[in-house]
Amino acid sequence: MPKREWLAVLAAVIALAVVLPACNALPAGSPLHVSNFTLNLFGKFLTYAILALGLDLLWGYAGVLSLGHGVFFGLGAYAMGMHLMLEIGTKSVYQTALPDFMVWNRVTALPLFWRPFYSAWFTLLAIVVVPALAALVFGFLAFRSRVRGVYFSIITQALALSAWLVFNRNEMNLGGTNGLADFKTILGFSLSAPATQRGLYVVTVLALAAAYVLCRWITRSRAGKVLVAIRDSETRVLFSGYSPVQYKLFVFVVSAVLAGVAGALYAPQVGIITPAKIGVLPSIEMVVWVAAGGRGTLVGAMLGAFGVNWIQSWLTTSYPDLWLLFLGALFMGVVLFIPDGVVGVAARLAQRLPRWPAALRHREMPGSEAATRTPTP
């Protein structure tokens, strides 16, 4: 990455991870005060931004549209949730070592697959490995048999539906429809304490920054070029001697891991994870974040995740009936009128304004780089 971009990332991290929490720590009367609620909301949006980065890598760069990313998000979130459930221990309503919902369901012993989640290290590992493995198996089967385009999208949508159905079942011992909730502590810190939430928020910002750097590194690498080539003409890539399957599988796994990490950060901040987060609708909503922000540009994906969710949290509280109409209109409008998203529109506008300072006008726009960038060492 060029130095300028490093600086931009650093500035963003400082603004989000230092300034905002500092504002949060100010007394409530101060004009610069940021409430706990807002900070928490931002934390949630930032986890979505991590997921959107992965989705953009997959769709915007490799041209593979997944309508099942909610599943990977859910796997990460459930892994974290299981650890948090076990951390509650005997402080639960029924004061048994078992999570409450198991007591309701008359489960007497902790299921075997829950046990390793007592360990925080194992949980951290699972957050990465479980979505990665799921994506590896699913992606291998799909890409190997050259399921592509809309076929792949539909298969992933079916995956989301099946996962939703399965996670809803009580006999899976994952809390059924109610999911996992009522977390008390994380690594011993109380989740209801504002300081813990602030800490989680900072971790989220750092994770997002790391995810951005990772994605940027991938897109700038040779592999990234191959991904874009696959998006533009898979057959030609194949005939040039590359195996698209491996590249697609790689990027699918990376994006699933990012989704898993996002989910793992989501669960403790929001305090609940239910199957409703992994179904067909949430999975496809994630796609519209990327589309609205501007696919093929990493900044766009993050902005989209942030912006759409901000609008959602405003609309669903003020005008709940309008949210789905807005979402539908957003899908249609973005696809019809601004296929390159808000960032694309901004880039075009910037190019049209001749009297802007040269530095601004020629600022690197990630969206236009594939076409206009000259190679830099």
Binding mask 245-284 for other proteins (x = CB under 8 A): -----------------------------------x---x
Residue pair 81/296 in contact (Cβ under 8 Å)? The answer is no
219: contact with other proteins by CB under 8 A = no
Size of the site for other proteins (CB under 8 A): 44
- CA 256 from chain centre, in angstroms, equals 9
Told to check if 319 binds other proteins by CB under 8 A, we report no
One-letter amino acid for residue 253 of the chain:
V
Q: Which is nearer to other proteins, 61 or 266 (CB)?
A: 61
CB of 22 to other proteins, least distance (A): 40
Residue 55 makes contact with other proteins by CB under 8 A: no
**Binding pattern for the stretch 135-174 against other proteins, x by CB under 8 A and - elsewhere:** ---x--xx-xxxx-xxx-xxx-xxx-xx--xx-xx-----
Query: Do 303 and 291 touch, CB atoms closer than 8 A?
Result: no
Q: How far is the CB of 150 from other proteins (least distance, A)?
A: 5
Assess 329 for contact with other proteins (CB under 8 A): yes
Sort residue 154 into left (φ over 0), alpha (ψ -120 to 50) or beta.
Answer: alpha
**Of the ranges 49-57, 95-103, 305-313, 320-328, which one interacts with other proteins (CB under 8 A)?**
320-328
Contact between 232 and other proteins by CB under 8 A: the answer reads no
Query: Of the listed pieces 90-98, 119-127, 327-335, 365-373, which binds other proteins according to CB under 8 A?
Result: 327-335
In terms of Cβ atoms closer than 10 Å to its own Cβ (0-12, 13-18, 19+), residue 3 is exposed
* Rounded CA separation 272/285 (Å): 19
Tell me the two tokens of residue 252. 């699918």
In whole angstroms, the minimum distance from the beta carbon of 83 to other proteins comes to 26
Residue listed under structure tokens 């990490």: 261
**Residue (of 94, 88, 160) closest to 117 by Cα position:** 88
- Using CB under 8 A as the binding rule, whether residue 202 contacts other proteins is answered as no
Give the span between the Cα atoms of 299 and 366, in whole angstroms.
8
User: Amino acid identity, residue 366?
Assistant: P
Question: Does the protein bind other proteins through residue 134 (CB under 8 A)?
Answer: no
Contact 138, 124 (CB under 8 A): no
CA 84 to centroid of chain Cα atoms = 20
Q: Which residues bind other proteins (CB under 8 A)?
A: 63, 65, 138, 141-142, 144-147, 149-151, 153-155, 157-159, 161-162, 165-166, 168-169, 235, 280, 284, 287-288, 291, 321, 324-325, 327-336, 339
